Amino acid sequence: MTPPPSSLSPPQSWERLLRTPHPRDHVVQLYTDEQFLGRAVAHFLGAGLRDGGAAVIIGTPAHVRVICDRLDTAGVEVPKAVRRGQLVIADAEQCLARFMKDGLPDRAAFLATVLPILETIRAEGYRNIRLFGEMVNLLWDHNLEATVQLEEMWNEVLADQGVSLLCAYRIDPFDVRAHRGVLHQISRCHSHLVPVDDYDRLDRAVERALGDTFGQDAPELRQLIATRYPVATSMPASEAALFAVRKLSPSIADTLLERTRHHYRAG
C-alpha cells in the first residue's frame, strides 16, 4: 500500500529487522561509525545465538574484536560458543584469497570456501544459521564488478541453504557519488537496506529536504514519484524517496541528498 501523501510511513526499525530475519534474507548495512557496525552485527548474531541458533563472522580482525566485545556485553559467551561449534569466526581477507581469480570471484572456489563452514555447523546439530560478512567491503571501492558477482553468489547460497546474511559497507549514506552508482547496484543484490542508525531522524531530514526542494507540493510529488519509480529492495520509505527522485532527475536528486545531509546532521 502506498503511504499517505501527508507523511512518510514509519519504517520497520533496523533493530527489529536484524533481530528477527527470515531465512534467505540478505541485508546490507551502510556505516561510517564502527560502533554502529558493532551494535548492529552483535544485535543480528546475538539474537540468533541466544535462541539456540548458530552464527558465522567473516570479518577483519579489528571488526571481529568489536563484534565479539558487543556479543559479550549482550550476554553471549563467545569462547564457549566457538568451542561448541555454535560460532565460527573466519578472516575476510584470507577467505577472499581462496576464491578470487584474475580479479573476480570463482564460483566453485567460493562454494568450496563457504559451504564446508555451514556443513560443519549443521553437523554439530544447529539448523538456524546467521552470517555476517564483509568481504564485499574489501572489494567495492576498487572492484565493483567483483563485488556484485560475489553478492549474487551469496544469494545462491542463501536460496539453497535457507540461511540469512548481513553484509556491511563502509559508505556514507549521504555521499553523492555513492548515490550516483554504487549504492543502487549494491542495493539491487539485497532484500533489505539499512542506510542509517536513526530512521526517525532520517525521515524528518528527508521530509524537510523535500519541502526545501519542491515547496508546498512536496507531499503530492513524493507520492507520485514513489508510485512511478518503486524500489525492489526493502528500505525506509524516506530512503526509497531518495532512490525514486534519482530515477526522475539525477540533478534534483543531488540537491535533495545534500539538503537531507544538512538536516540529518543538524538533527
pLDDT in tens, 34-45: 999 999 999 999
Residue of higher predicted confidence among 220 and 184: 184
Determine the pLDDT at residue 12: 62
Q: What gap in Å lies between CA 263 and CA 134, rounded to an integer?
A: 30
Give the chain's domain count. Answer: 2
Q: Are residues 69 and 149 in the same domain?
A: yes
Name the pLDDT band for 240 (thresholds 50, 70, 90): very high
- Where in the sequence is the domain holding 94, given as residue range(s)? 33-170
| Whether the Cβ atoms of residue 47 and residue 71 lie closer than 8 Å to each other | no
In a domain, 66, yes or no: yes
Summarize the chain as % helix, strand, coil (round to 5). 60, 15, 25
Query: Do residues 29 and 165 make contact, with C-beta atoms less than 8 angstroms apart?
Result: no
Domain for residue 152, yes or no? yes
Q: Which amino acid is at 137?
A: N
Q: Which of 81, 11, 90, 83 is nearest to 46 (CA)?
A: 81
**Which CATH number does the domain housing residue 156 bear?**
3.40.50.300
> Can you tell me the distance from the alpha carbon of 124 to that of 144, in angstroms, rounded to the nearest whole number?
36
Cell of 82: 566457538
Rounded Cα–Cα distance for residues 63 and 31 (Å): 13
Do 225 and 147 fall into the same domain? no
- Percentage, residues of the chain above pLDDT 70: 96
Q: What pLDDT, in 10s, does the model give residues 22-79?
A: 999 999 999 999 999 999 999 999 999 999 999 999 999 999 999 999 999 999 999 9
More confident residue, 189 or 12: 189
Per-residue pLDDT at 2 exceeds 60: no
Q: Whose grid coordinates read 546467521?
A: 130
Q: What is the pLDDT of residue 165?
A: 98
The answer to whether residue 119 scores a pLDDT higher than 50 is yes
Instruction: Clarify whether residues 161 and 44 are in a common domain.
Output: yes
Q: Are residues 160 and 205 in the same domain?
A: no
Minimum mean pLDDT among 23-27, 142-146, 237-241: which range?
237-241
Query: What's residue 8's pLDDT?
Result: 40
> What CA–CA distance (Å, rounded) separates 159 from 157?
5
Q: What is the three-class DSSP state of 23?
A: coil
Residues 45 and 151 in one domain: yes
**Domain check: are 142 and 240 in the same one?**
no
Strands (E), the chain: 26-31, 54-59, 87-91, 100-101, 104-105, 129-133, 164-170, 192-194
Angle formed by the axes of helices 199-214 and 218-228, nearest 10° = 110
What is the distance between the alpha carbons of residues 231 and 204, in angstroms, rounded to a whole number? 20
pTM of the model: 0.92
Of 201, 207, 233, give the one whose Cα is nearest residue 221: 207
pLDDT above 50: residue 7: no
Question: Residue 145 falls within a domain, yes or no?
Answer: yes
- The yes-or-no verdict on residue 125 having pLDDT over 70 is yes
Taking CA atoms, 245 is separated from 26, 43, 242, in Å, by: 25, 32, 5
**Rg value, the chain, Cα:** 19
pLDDT at 5 over 50: no
- Statement to judge: residues 83 and 130 lie in one domain: yes
Mean pLDDT of the chain: 93
Return the pLDDT at 10: 44
Q: Which tens digit of pLDDT belongs to each residue from 193-202?
A: 999 999 999 9
Task: Compute how many other C-beta atoms are within 10 angstroms of the C-beta atom of residue 37.
Answer: 25
Give the domain-ending residue among 115, 150, 170. 170
At 38, list the grid cell. Answer: 558493532
